[in-house]
Structure 1
Amino acid sequence: MPTGGMGGTARVSILTIGDIGVSSGIIHIGDEAMFEAARDELADRGIPITGISSQPDESARRYGIPVVGRLGFAGLARADAQERAALLLDVAAGIRELPPGDPAEGALAALRSARGVLIAGGGNLASRWPVHVFERTTVAAMARAQGLPVVLSGQTLGPDLDPEDRTRVAELARRAVRTGVREHASGDLARSWGARVHVGVDDASFLGGGPDGAEVSDRVLVSLSGWFAVRPADAVEAGIARLLDHVADTAGEVLFHAHFGPVAADAVPSGDAALHERVRARMRRPSTVVASGDPLGAARLARSARLLVTSRYHPAVFAAPAGVPILGLAADDYTRIKLAGALGHWGQDAVLDLDDLPTAPSALDRLDDRRSEVADRAAAALPGHRARAGAWWDDVADVFR
């Protein structure tokens, strides 16, 4: 089978789909972090994986594992995606043959030599990303057609699911051997479908060993997403700039770090990094930029911050276990559920809507005053969350043994 340059076939591996692949030098830190954590946790338990990636060669080099391409749903309209899902399921069941050169050749070959399928965190299951709904429900159905177990880990389910997608995702969760979600809202939804559910912290919470030994700096870390939920960009960016000027005046140096942006420091800003530059241009106080880099570097950076201001999810995932006070900025129900879920596991709750930016300076001042309290809560919660996360991965490994 194709292996993204790694060579050979690992006949005991678990076919694992996340949302990975660095293209044109642009990385999505959170998606890569969840996949990396799954690889590490299963490797620690003696279980190798084969990945699915939009950039197989790059991902094979990054993770040191066999990697195949995606299933060919990208860019398809819903009707065409439904036809493709039916084709791939028939091929997996031995009813039809795959056309020569089809993009799913590698994934089908990997599935035939796999012991099961892990749907890792990344590409959350919501109707705003139909390609991920089709990819994950189809690869799971293909696995079941071959009698293989399926596990979901690190998921956010919905909240926006149209009726067809809800049916697909409900069947996926219900028929999985284990379904791991990262917020109680997702857990409640999955239970309503009859799924066997584990609710825990995000899979990347302890990436690289977790927060142990993190050294706290005087810097305030900022990581923003360009999703404003149709609010005027000028107004939102100006409001964030005013907030960050206040932070620089009262708390310390402002440091921008894009979780969707260029890996390299000398690259032209794009994605979140381009948004950061627009906000910086509106600020009256100086600030600093750190290149996106990689997940381990991002985790270390977040864990060392004095404060975190973020509308991205994974900066909060990395920072909260280290007891860093976090102000989450939510654009809609989806981002609010994710940020509140990430913070709530660690006893924090400071999530504001973008409409409430005028109140954000006082909210951040209160957070800064409570730094010791926030750190104590995180330290008290850390052993339990570590133990439950370890038990979850033990259970996942047992499924595939």
Structure 2
Amino acid sequence: MPKVLILADLGQENYHVGDEAMGIAAQVALEERGFETYIATRSTDHSRAYIRSAQGYIETLVFPGEPARREEYLEEVRACLSGARVAREISEFIHHVSAMDGILIAGGGNMNSVFGWLLYERAAYALVAEHFGIPLVISGQSIGPVLTDRDERTLAELLSVAQLVGMREQTSFDRVRALGIDVRHCVDDATFYSVGQRNLPHAPDFTLPSDYICATFTNLSDSEVQTIAVLLDDIYRRYGFTTVLVQHKGMPGEALDDIIVARRIAEWMTSPCLVLPILHADSTVAIHQGAHLNFSNRYHPGVFSLAAGVPYVALIPDAFTDIRIAGLMAHYGVEGFAVSQELIAEVAGQALTEAIERREDITAHLQSRSRELAIFSISWWDAVASELRGQRASVGLMDLGPAPTFEVGDWSKQNTARRAKVAQVSLSETLAHAHHDRERSWADYRAAHPTARVPGQPLVSVIIPAYNAAHTIGDQLECLSRQKSAPNFEVIISDNGSTDELVTAVEPYRNRLNVRIVDSSQIQGVSHARNVGIQESQCDFIMICDADDFVSQGWVRAMYDAMCTYPDAYVLGQYLYISDEGGLRLQHPEVQRLFTEPKWQDVFIQDPDPSAPIETHFFIGGGSLAFRREAGLQLRGFDSSYTRGGDDWDFFARARLAGMRQVEAYGAAIAYRISHSPAQQLKRQRFYGLNDVLVTSRFPAQVQTDTSVIKQMPVLLKTPYRLARYRDLETRVKIFSDLGYALGIIQGTILYRALRRIPRPVLMKENQP
């Protein structure tokens, strides 16, 4: 049985009914035609739970949002196919996709510059298909309308690889044909969706009204919300139809996306209404198809309702929505019911009235056309199946003939003119924004990459200082080898005089990472090891992590994105504490959770102000740090006069004095190992206290940690009592940690404040071998 891989926009954190429905419909159609189906998804767990019927699920290759970076990432895919060593997820992606007998890029409206990361994701599949000679079919697409010149070239290259290309509306069909592509006009993949019995988490029990209209909206202004509420109330008053507000996009159990708009509408309504949360495509399609009427500014509610003979009144806010929804409605000859969203108050009421009062005629018209489209759809999927088997069948594919027009009232004349004007203005503005966005993105990229690089050459050096770290460094390297959507990077292990089996521990990763070991044994200490790594690097960007922690799977990408966005900054990643009672490994469930779970992508920015104290929003340190190499050299690296801590805050303070801004990136998270040994915690915290006094003595304006001896005296006095009372390990670790820090503060106060024995800084130029 041939294996076919289906790519739709699946596995999103927020459930999207239309995207899921297209993927499921494509999977069912191909399974019925004898294929073993596999789903490409952003979350295999998500898709396995919500689709269920596929034979397998693989993680897709997620592209960056920034135009320059997604273009660069596609070149990395191309380079990997040419034999270059690139990020592990690219090689794994190619390995999984190349094992397929056919690839289907299922329907969607994402081949444009607005959602460019999805366009480039699809281009990556086309590159793999072309390289390995795998049949590729592209079904049910909308193209543009916004495409930069570069993105249009990428699109043309993508489409030219496919054996069969289908566009779901006339505008896209005409544009693709103008590119010289052999293209077919088809319908949306989910047009004849087969309803099942699947549910999402938190799905409630509910009873639908006997007579209802279905309403689904997104992105409405306050005045539009109020106007729609009045229209729905009027329908109830005149015809007795209850409104059911159905969500098309959202997160199960959360108040996000469409449901926010739905609740705002419900608050303004005076008539009865039912607000439903996000539901599985199975339930949502059934609700749309059981309605007396559908009213929406979203696309797929129209797909589901029109195929079932249910009238659909659409609101059109912009050019992107216009080509998709009007193109859909043209399949049935009812595009007259596509109303400009600017004319809600003037025209929408008349459109709704006509759709309700002429419902019988409209339904008969829709059902007649739907029967024709059902015959075409069978023919289409048969042709898709043949092409995926390597059999040319598109020559005999039946044409999608035009639909007879259903004439509407005179109110549509004003609406048609306004729609055309809104679409023209919207297209012009959005296209200008796309070109500006790309120019800005490349300007930032060039600023961050002043020298040209050949494909496959690393952009980033990840530096790991190591001293007798053979027992932990393998887990850190494993984390780095599993990075998601990362730019090409190298790993420099700076060996600070190890006497263990460090080289042996690193050896298994040489074929999975661009990794090398450099000697930094001349001066003992993590600062010197970091400095040697910086000097050995030839990359523009430096990232630093420790040998005994676990970087999360998005660490490199989050650091890289922040550095590109803020080129004059140093970037700090958050520490997520994890307790180590001995033998903690990457396989530990808690480590796995911290490694894989999505992180907030928020950043905190502290603008340059040399006199302002450093502010932090989470625990930070030198074990999750990034900066441009040029800046690191200008700052002369880290100060080796510190022992076991403090050199990171010293670096931050000097960076602030040099005018650099500070960026804290939540997404650049690490699982920070905390020892459960009281003795080790006592020793570690004593050095932290000692070095806190030193760094605050050197940089009192920038580093304002409370290092008062008076504050630590109660800790010393209470320690005997606490040790006598508490016997459990966790509490005793905390007691010894507090005691160690207090002793360090006292020792530092005597050395650096009372005796003024502040050591001379030992910076990079002074500690070169």
Give the TM-score, by structure 1 length. 0.88
Contact 1:173–1:179 (CA under 8 A) maintained in structure 2: yes
Report the more deviating stretch, 339-348 or 273-282: 339-348
Counterpart in the other structure of 2:10 = 20
Report the more deviating stretch, 285-294 or 198-207: 285-294
Distance in structure 1 (CA, Å) of the matches to 2:87 and 2:360: 61
Equivalences, count? 373
Residues 182-201 of structure 1 aligned to structure 2 (within 5 Å)? 182-201=168-187
Counterpart in the other structure of 1:254 = 243
Residues 49-128 of structure 1 aligned to structure 2 (within 5 Å)? 49-64=37-52, 65=54, 66-75=56-65, 77-93=66-82, 95-100=83-88, 102=89, 104-122=90-108, 124-128=110-114
CA-CA distance at 1:85 after TM superposition: 0.7
Tell me the SS of whatever aligns to 2:8.
strand
CA-CA distance at 1:209 after TM superposition: 6.6
Per-residue CA distance 1:272-302 (angstroms, 9 max, x = gap): 0111111111222231122321112111111
Counterpart in the other structure of 1:303 = 289
Q: Which runs of 5+ in 2 are unaligned?
A: 197-207, 390-769
CA-CA distance at 1:72 after TM superposition: 3.1
AA aligned opposite 1:69: E
Distance in structure 2 (CA, Å) of the matches to 1:242 and 1:174: 49
Change (3 A) 1:92 1:247: farther
AA aligned opposite 1:243: L
Contact 2:109–2:142 (CA under 8 A) maintained in structure 1: no
AA aligned opposite 1:126: N
Tell me the SS of whatever aligns to 2:108.
coil
Counterpart in the other structure of 2:115 = 129
Contact 2:42–2:62 (CA under 8 A) maintained in structure 1: no
Picking from 330, 345, 364, the partner of 2:316 is: 330
Tell me the SS of whatever aligns to 1:258.
coil
Picking from 160, 167, 172, the partner of 1:174 is: 160
Distance in structure 2 (CA, Å) of the matches to 1:199 and 1:123: 15
Change (3 A) 1:123 1:97: farther
Counterpart in the other structure of 1:154 = 140
Picking from 372, 381, 388, the partner of 1:400 is: 388
Counterpart in the other structure of 2:573 = none
Report which structure shows greater RCO (CA 8 Å, sep ≥6).
1
Tell me the SS of whatever aligns to 1:245.
helix
Report the more deviating stretch, 329-338 or 122-131: 122-131
Contact 2:296–2:313 (CA under 8 A) maintained in structure 1: yes
Change (3 A) 1:81 1:295: same
Distance in structure 2 (CA, Å) of the matches to 1:46 and 1:317: 26
The answer on 1:377 being equivalent to 2:389 is: no
Distance in structure 2 (CA, Å) of the matches to 1:68 and 1:58: 11
Per-residue CA distance 1:189-239 (angstroms, 9 max, x = gap): 1111122222122110111179xxxx995201001122x5xxxx2222222
The answer on 1:282 being equivalent to 2:263 is: no
Counterpart in the other structure of 2:566 = none
Tell me the SS of whatever aligns to 1:366.
helix
Distance in structure 2 (CA, Å) of the matches to 1:130 and 1:223: 26
Tell me the SS of whatever aligns to 1:236.
helix
Counterpart in the other structure of 1:353 = 340
Report the more deviating stretch, 382-391 or 117-126: 117-126
Distance in structure 1 (CA, Å) of the matches to 2:51 and 2:251: 19
CA-CA distance at 1:99 after TM superposition: 3.1
Distance in structure 2 (CA, Å) of the matches to 1:268 and 1:250: 34
Residues 39-50 of structure 1 aligned to structure 2 (within 5 Å)? 39-50=27-38
Picking from 9, 13, 25, the partner of 1:37 is: 25
Contact 1:247–1:361 (CA under 8 A) maintained in structure 2: no
Change (3 A) 1:364 1:334: same
Distance in structure 2 (CA, Å) of the matches to 1:189 and 1:43: 31
Counterpart in the other structure of 2:766 = none
CA-CA distance at 1:312 after TM superposition: 0.9
Picking from 209, 213, 218, the partner of 1:220 is: 213
Distance in structure 2 (CA, Å) of the matches to 1:356 and 1:141: 44
Tell me the SS of whatever aligns to 1:52.
strand
Give the TM-score, by structure 2 length. 0.47
AA aligned opposite 2:123: T
Residues 200-219 of structure 1 aligned to structure 2 (within 5 Å)? 200-208=186-194, 218-219=211-212
Distance in structure 1 (CA, Å) of the matches to 2:280 and 2:314: 22
Counterpart in the other structure of 1:5 = none
Contact 1:218–1:253 (CA under 8 A) maintained in structure 2: yes
Contact 2:215–2:246 (CA under 8 A) maintained in structure 1: yes
AA aligned opposite 2:350: S
CA-CA distance at 1:396 after TM superposition: 0.9
Contact 1:158–1:186 (CA under 8 A) maintained in structure 2: yes
Distance in structure 2 (CA, Å) of the matches to 1:119 and 1:268: 30
Contact 2:8–2:108 (CA under 8 A) maintained in structure 1: yes
The answer on 1:244 being equivalent to 2:237 is: no
Change (3 A) 1:68 1:209: closer
Change (3 A) 1:387 1:69: same
AA aligned opposite 1:15: L
Contact 1:184–1:199 (CA under 8 A) maintained in structure 2: yes
Tell me the SS of whatever aligns to 1:338.
helix
Contact 1:120–1:153 (CA under 8 A) maintained in structure 2: yes
Distance in structure 2 (CA, Å) of the matches to 1:384 and 1:216: 31
Counterpart in the other structure of 1:165 = 151
Distance in structure 1 (CA, Å) of the matches to 2:230 and 2:152: 40
Change (3 A) 1:377 1:353: same
CA-CA distance at 1:105 after TM superposition: 4.6
AA aligned opposite 1:192: A
AA aligned opposite 1:175: V
CA-CA distance at 1:61 after TM superposition: 3.2
Identity within the alignment, % = 29
Tell me the SS of whatever aligns to 2:74.
helix
Tell me the SS of whatever aligns to 1:73.
coil
